[in-house]
Amino acid sequence: MKILIMALLSGLLFGVGLTLGGMTQPKVVLGFLNVFGHWNPRLVLVMGGAVLTTAIGYRWVGKKRKPLLAEAFHWPTRKDIEWRLLGGAALFGMGWGMAGYCPGPALVSIGGGQPDLWAFVVAMAGGWWLAAQWSGSTDVRREREEQHDE
């Protein structure tokens, strides 16, 4: 139950941060990506705040023996850059640039009932499903656990 409550609080904090930072407004995101037109630098501050928070958080958490609500940390073990990572990043960037949404802000904003946003979320879910089918992996959690056990 503690993990569920922490997940709920983390998601709520994340959603509030996205909303306050303007990430749920496609015009802010598209304005940031429009470097040759009317550029909106607001997103630089949001990203800078995220990088700073992550850097401090990783240094603090890295000193702990174990997480508060789990038996062990699950740190990434891969350090290589593969074509799947590059291809996924490129597809993510294209979708972000075309729609003005990335997955987190899209899910935060879905309550507004905008038809174009619903179309984006359905297409995003379809893309996740297709990627899982293509890669042969439908259970990411099981795959992570198997990698951790090795």
Who contacts 108 (Cβ-Cβ below 8 Å, separation ≥6)? 14, 15, 18, 19, 24
- pLDDT of 150: 54
Q: Which residue has the higher pLDDT, 82 or 149?
A: 82
pLDDT at 76 over 70: yes
Provide the whole-model pTM.
0.68
Per-residue pLDDT tens over the stretch 99-127: 888 888 888 888 877 888 888 899 989 98
Asked if residue 146 has pLDDT above 70, the reply is no
